[in-house]
């Protein structure tokens, strides 16, 4: 409609409206004629719009007297507001990006379907270049067009190729391929050996060997005549086409068919018989070797992984019938290695302890925490004096604040203690190995030590003693009525250090055996009284001998 209105020179009237200037006093004939033409344009434009629409739509613009009002009403009705138009453009853009070429669809059909979406986008005022449409067609093409796409990439510039040129080039490739496929005749081989039927990929059922009418989707009904029909066939068929797709080579000459594998080695040569090539499979003999199980290892597992020395003693005393002799070169059981092997304790060595304040400071960073503090901190930096066991904690928002916190800590403790920090020990984290840390240590003369990497974590113990009988004086900042100088720091350090030296040698890493309750001891005594504990006692009871014979029969029956 827009094109027709432009051809009649009426589009400006529809788009901008017609407001002819009023005639002056005593107008000339030319002015009257021009004014009449301008007024007539409004009527002609409105008549064209009303004549081009359906009766149902005509009712909606019946009350509009100008062509611009009628056109704006139609735009509002079918195109909607600016927000509605953007939503339509977005949906069409999404459809444009998601559209794919179907397997049974030709290039021309796909291009036509894509052009409909492109036209709708452009009608809504959105720009979509032909280059973008060409790229979309190339991306959506199936794998069979890869060779043609590579040829186009080498020979042509996609920024200057049109949609019609691309579609025609792809159509020509499809046409040449279809001509070559019509000349190929597919053959089959007849197999003489019975076997299981390979299910169809479409339905998974065995065919009933009855002639059927083949139907092709969207192409009507196709009839196939002069078909070789084998009723009640009980043999498998090898397809020549499938073997060629798998890079096998077939050579037909002198009434024989020779098959070569992809590497060029000859697999078989079949003579033709009854216009087919039957393959006689030769089944090779498959030797089976008996497996032997070491009876001694089996008895070792039956008896709950007894040690080999215990099994030798049982075998020599004849306590178990049919127990094989124990060999000296028996392999060690893996389960016994993992379950019975234990690690000896480390040798007790005297650990070094600081002898004065700030002689050794332990430092470590913990975090990040899953929940931040009220101040937004997720890390905390801990300092522990090795001599006094005094602790200081600094809360950090990030790890970059470690160096600033250490400087603040150094000034604080050195002013309070009246001495300098001599040695610092930490792990091998990167925040302690930064260049500013090393430079600062060299300036103030602090020795920095690191723990050994890839070793079990070190546990720093801190003993805390509470005096429940004394009170704390908040004004004097010291305890009142402390019993026996419990909070005397110097006395505590000397006493703890002496106790550690006295008890260090006697401290071992062996676990302490727990005690049993009287109920457990009495219950164990009852078991010892009622149940036999040795083989000689068991052999005296007939029911025990019968029970053991039944157990051995079940073991021999199950071969366990």
Fold classified for 361-502? Nucleotidyltransferase; domain 5 (3.30.420)
Pick from 250, 246, 247, 254: nearest CA to 266: 250
**Measured CA angle at 254 (ends 251, 260), to 5 deg:** 20
Confidence of residue 395 (pLDDT cuts 50, 70, 90): very high
Cβ distance 141 to 101 under 8 Å?
Answer: yes
Lowest mean pLDDT among 35-44, 126-135, 252-261: 35-44
| CA 238 to centroid of chain Cα atoms | 41
Given a cut of 60, is residue 509 above it in pLDDT? no
Q: Which of 52-61, 216-225, 386-395 shows the lowest mean pLDDT across its residues?
A: 216-225
Torsional class of 493: left (φ above 0), alpha (ψ -120 to 50), beta (otherwise): alpha
In angstroms, the CA 272 to CA 251 distance is 13
Q: Please give the helix or strand (H or E) that residue 251 lies within, else none.
A: strand 249-253
Q: Is the pLDDT assigned to residue 181 strictly greater than 50?
A: yes
Q: Hey, what are 164's tokens? A: 């019609």
Q: Which residues have a Cβ under 8 Å from the Cβ of 466 and sit 6 or more positions away?
A: none
Structure tokens at 326: 């124990």
Cα(474)–Cα(392) distance, integer angstroms: 21
pLDDT tens figures, 406-418: 889 988 988 888 8
Alpha helices per DSSP H over 23-100 = 29-52, 55-58, 67-74, 82-98
For residues 308 and 328, what is the distance between their CA atoms, to the nearest angstrom? Answer: 9
Average pLDDT value for the chain:
73
Whether 131 shows a pLDDT value over 70: the answer reads yes
How far apart are the C-alpha atoms of 13 and 208, rounded to whole Å? 73
Cα distance between residue 514 and residue 152, in whole Å: 85
SS3 category, 165:
helix
Q: How far apart are the first and last CA of the chain?
A: 93
HSE at residue 139, side-chain half, CA atoms within 13 A, is 12
Phi/psi at 381 (5° precision): -105, 125
Question: Which of 461, 380, 383 is CA-nearest to residue 425?
Answer: 383
Tokens (6 digits) for 172: 């020509």
Place of tokens 């979309």: 136
Residue 502, phi then psi, degrees to nearest 5: -70, -40
Residue spans of the domains in the chain: they are 2-79, 83-183, 186-193+235-279, 295-340, 361-502, 518-558
3-state secondary structure 336-361: HHHHHCCCCCCCCCCCCCCCCCCCCE
Side-chain-facing half-sphere of 179: CA atoms under 13 Å: 6
For 286-316, the pLDDT digits (tens) are 666 655 555 777 777 877 887 777 878 877 7
Q: What is the largest CA-CA distance in the chain?
A: 151
Sequence-distant (6+) residues with CB within 8 A of 488 are 482
Of 138-147, 166-175, 183-192, 540-549, which range is least confident?
A: 183-192
- Which of these ranges, 159-163, 383-387, 388-392, has the smallest mean pLDDT? 159-163
Tell how far CA 228 is from the center of its chain.
52
Tell me: the pLDDT tens digits for 80-97?
667 777 888 888 888 888
pLDDT higher than 60, residue 227: no
């Amino acid at each position: 409609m827009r094109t027709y209105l432009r051809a009649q020179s009426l589009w400006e009237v529809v788009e901008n409206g017609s407001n002819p200037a009023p005639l002056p006093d005593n107008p000339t004939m030319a002015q009257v004629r021009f004014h009449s033409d301008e007024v007539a344009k409004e009527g002609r434009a409105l008549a064209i719009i009303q004549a081009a629409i359906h009766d149902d739509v005509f009712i909606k613009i019946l009350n509009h007297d100008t062509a611009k009002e009628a056109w704006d009403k139609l735009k509002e009705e079918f195109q909607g507001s600016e927000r509605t138009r953007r939503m339509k453009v977005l949906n069409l853009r999404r459809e444009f990006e998601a559209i794919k070429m179907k397997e049974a669809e030709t290039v021309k059909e796909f291009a036509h379907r894509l052009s409909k979406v492109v036209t709708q986008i452009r009608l809504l005022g959105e720009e979509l270049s032909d280059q973008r449409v060409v790229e979309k067609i190339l991306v959506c093409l199936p794998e069979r067009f890869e060779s043609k796409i590579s040829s186009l990439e080498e020979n042509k510039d996609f920024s200057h190729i049109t949609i019609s040129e691309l579609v025609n080039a792809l159509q020509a490739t499809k046409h040449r391929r279809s001509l070559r496929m019509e000349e190929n005749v597919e053959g089959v081989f007849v197999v003489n050996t019975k076997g299981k039927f390979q299910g169809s990929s479409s339905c998974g059922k065995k065919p009933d060997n009855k002639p059927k009418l083949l139907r092709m989707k969207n192409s009507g009904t196709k009839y196939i005549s002069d078909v070789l029909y084998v009723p009640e066939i009980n043999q498998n068929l090898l397809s020549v086409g499938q073997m060629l797709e798998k890079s096998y080579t077939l050579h037909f000459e002198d009434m024989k068919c020779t098959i070569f594998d992809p590497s060029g080695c000859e697999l078989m040569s079949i003579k033709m018989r009854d216009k087919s090539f039957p393959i006689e499979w030769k089944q090779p003999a498959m030797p089976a070797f008996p497996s032997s199980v070491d009876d001694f290892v089996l008895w070792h597992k039956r008896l709950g992984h007894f040690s080999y020395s215990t099994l030798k003693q049982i075998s020599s005393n004849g306590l178990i019938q049919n127990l094989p002799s124990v060999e000296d070169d028996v392999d060690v059981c893996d389960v016994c290695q993992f379950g019975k092997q234990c690690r000896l304790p480390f040798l007790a060595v005297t650990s070094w302890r600081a002898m004065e304040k700030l002689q050794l400071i332990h430092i470590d960073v913990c975090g990040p925490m899953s929940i931040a503090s009220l101040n937004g901190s997720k890390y905390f930096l801990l300092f522990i004096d090795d001599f006094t066991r005094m602790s200081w904690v600094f809360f950090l928002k990030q790890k970059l604040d470690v160096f600033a916190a250490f400087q603040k800590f150094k000034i604080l403790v050195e002013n309070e203690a009246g001495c300098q920090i001599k040695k610092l020990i930490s792990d091998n984290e990167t925040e302690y190995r930064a260049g500013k840390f090393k430079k600062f240590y060299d300036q103030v003369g602090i020795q920095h030590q690191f723990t050994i990497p890839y070793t079990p974590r070190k546990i720093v113990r801190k003993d805390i003693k509470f005096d429940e009988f004394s009170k704390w004086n908040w004004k004097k900042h010291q305890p009142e009525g402390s019993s026996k100088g419990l909070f005397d720091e110097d006395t505590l350090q000397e006493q703890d250090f002496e106790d550690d030296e006295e008890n260090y040698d006697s401290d071992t890493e062996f676990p302490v055996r727990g005690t049993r309750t009287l109920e457990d001891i009495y219950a164990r005594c009852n078991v010892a009284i009622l149940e036999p504990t040795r083989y000689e006692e068991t052999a005296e009871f007939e029911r025990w001998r019968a029970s053991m014979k039944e157990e051995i029969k079940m073991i021999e029956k199950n071969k366990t």
